[in-house]
Amino acid sequence: MHEHCAHNKAPAHKHGGHGKSSFSTAAHATLHCLTGCVIGELIGLMIGVSLGISPYPMMTLSTVLAYISGFSLTIFPLMRNTGFTFKTALKAIWLGEAISIGVMELVMNTVDYHMGGVRSGSIGNPLFWEALAAAVPAGYIAAFPVNAWLIGKELKRCH
């Protein structure tokens, strides 16, 4: 576990309340979620643009891959650190991860779509990368308050 997440076995409201500790825990959880989302998102968009897949199926592929990579980056370390089975780890994280990734993907795909990245025609087109560069921070900004709320309600932990 990460240094400022290791003590996160206590309920979120008991370790830092509304202060810096809760802020940094939410920031770290959102960054962790973003890492998984960006891996899946980028792979899906690169496949979609390279194969000429239309925008909505491409965004669906990207979202599915973002869920797979996002859940994987949480489940497997949790299993390793706790000895949980896959099923137990999935039960422990599914709701918080599903909500966080869903919000992040909705915003990232919306930004990418409206900027034209999904219609750029090639990963060599600067528009592809410009749209992704705008979508990533937008996804983080949208998911941060959601993760803070999920952590405060003990529906998500920094894993």
99 within some domain: yes
121 within some domain: yes
What band does 14 get if pLDDT is binned at 50, 70 and 90?
Answer: very low
105 within some domain: yes
**Triad 70, 75, 77: Cα angle to 5°:** 105
Total tally of structural domains belonging to the chain:
1
Q: Tell me the C-alpha distance between 8 and 158, whole Å.
A: 7
Domain of residue 25: give its range. Answer: 18-152
- Cβ contacts of residue 152 below 8 Å, gap of 6+? 12, 13, 22
pTM of the complete model = 0.85
pLDDT digits (tens, 9 = 90+) for 101-159: 999 999 999 999 999 999 999 999 999 999 999 999 999 999 999 999 999 988 887 65
What band does 12 get if pLDDT is binned at 50, 70 and 90?
Answer: very low
CA–CA distance from 128 to each of 20, 110, 135, 147, 149 (Å)?
36, 14, 11, 28, 32
